[in-house]
Structure 1
């Protein structure tokens, strides 16, 4: 099992996991994910393992990804405009973390988040920002994210919490 930087060839699997993980109004569209993987694939990571039935086949279990920005909080336009990515941005804005339903409750989301924190620290970023629903606040707090309160984002018509990890 390994975590690696995503490539454009991972798009179909990432999209399938996205659709299985979020309600339609919250999920990234195929064109949006496609554009993100074209503009900033180095800000997307996948957790991959070998298929036990087909040893030459790799299976993506989950992914995490976002964009670099100088905004310490998520802006709604980040979800649909990959051009807002700033390769020199001081913050990683996580736009999605998802694990395929069949692989959940095995610690894979934690592994993806831990690796992302390490990678983001390694490049000297100021921190990581993301939004989450109320039921996931405690999950992110286990990784030292601070709940900055209700977000200004209304992506998908949902109430989100701004979560910030200063590095």
Structure 2
């Protein structure tokens, strides 16, 4: 497995993975992914095998403390010098789940954020995923009223970083 960052040539494959991992109302389109890669391709972490990308996480950096719906649509809000790494999605193709790919991706995110001296990482997830992210040190902050993305109920989780 190789962990790398996104380039323009990855957009179509990332959009295909996103569409298989999230309901239509929540999945980023190819155009949205292209916009994100343009602004923060180095904040996509892709797990790739010989056959292609099998898992990825992405999100931009900001000084805002909480993840909001506007962030999904406005990649230009990315601030490379920001303190908080937002994670908009962790995607693993269904046939590659429970094989350590998402774990490798999240560990790469955490390690890169440490090297970049970020204050921490913020994500939102559905209730059933809270125990999974807690294994990485994310703390459940409860249901957020700042994100109703796709009409779902989201729990905000935060992983503070120490150096």
Does TM, normalized by the shorter one, top 0.5? yes
Per the alignment, residue 157 of structure 1 pairs with 151
Q: What TM-score results when the alignment is normalised by the length of structure 2?
A: 0.96
Q: Which runs of 5+ in 2 are unaligned?
A: none
Structure-to-structure mapping, 1:17-96, within 5 angstroms: 17-51=17-51, 59-96=52-89
Q: Deviations over 1:45-103 (max 9, x none)?
A: 1101124xxxxxxx111111100011121111000111111111100000111011111
CA drift at 1:164: 0.2
Task: Tell me whether 1:13 sits opposite 2:13 in the alignment.
Answer: yes
Greater strand share, 1 or 2?
1
What's the RMSD between the two structures over aligned residues? 0.8
User: Unaligned regions of 5+ residues in structure 1, if any?
Assistant: 52-58
- Residues paired across the two proteins, number: 160
SS of residue in 2 equivalent to 1:124:
coil
The normalised TM-score by structure 1 is 0.93
User: 4+ residue stretches of structure 1 with deviation over 3 A?
Assistant: none
Deviation at residue 107 of structure 1 after TM alignment: 1.5
Which structure has the greater CA radius of gyration?
1
